[in-house]
């Protein structure tokens, strides 16, 4: 489980961010998808036993949905910052910083694991 979360945070997250950041489209579809993912996460957490047969599956899906929404928000932040700072060098720095920002949930998970022990 921990290895899966590590790979999601440090490989899949930045890769997904770079893919979303390269897409040229409007901002509102990404914001709408992020909102729907957060809403689905809350629905799964409150009614996990009614929707899914495994109790842990609802919790895991809820966390994955929140994490995907976080990656989408980082893509939106990157787009907004690149509009404010249109130079090529600033764009590269913004992309690097936001890609690193997609890994932030891992550190929250690691801190929670450390405090639980």
For each of the chain's 117 residues, which pLDDT tens digit applies?
778 888 888 999 999 999 998 887 788 888 999 999 999 888 877 655 555 555 667 778 888 899 999 999 999 999 999 999 999 999 999 999 999 999 999 898 888 888 988
As for how many domains the chain has, the answer is: 1
Domain interval for residue 84: 2-116
In this prediction, residue 59 carries a pLDDT of 76
Nearest-5° angle of CA 107, CA 113, CA 117?
145
pTM: 0.84
Contact by Cβ (8 Å): 71, 106 = no
For residue 72, give the nearest of 109, 92, 98 by alpha carbon: 98
């Amino acid at each position: 489980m921990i290895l899966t979360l590590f790979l999601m945070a440090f490989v899949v997250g930045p890769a997904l961010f770079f893919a979303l950041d390269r897409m040229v489209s409007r901002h509102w579809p990404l914001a709408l998808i992020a909102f729907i993912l957060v809403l689905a996460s809350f629905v799964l957490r409150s009614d996990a036993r009614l929707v899914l047969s495994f109790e842990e599956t609802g919790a895991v899906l809820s966390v994955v949905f929140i994490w995907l929404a976080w990656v989408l928000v980082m893509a939106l932040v990157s787009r907004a910052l690149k509009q404010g700072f249109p130079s090529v060098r600033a764009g590269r720095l913004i992309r690097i910083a936001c890609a690193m920002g997609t890994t932030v949930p891992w550190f929250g998970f690691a801190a929670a694991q450390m405090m639980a022990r």
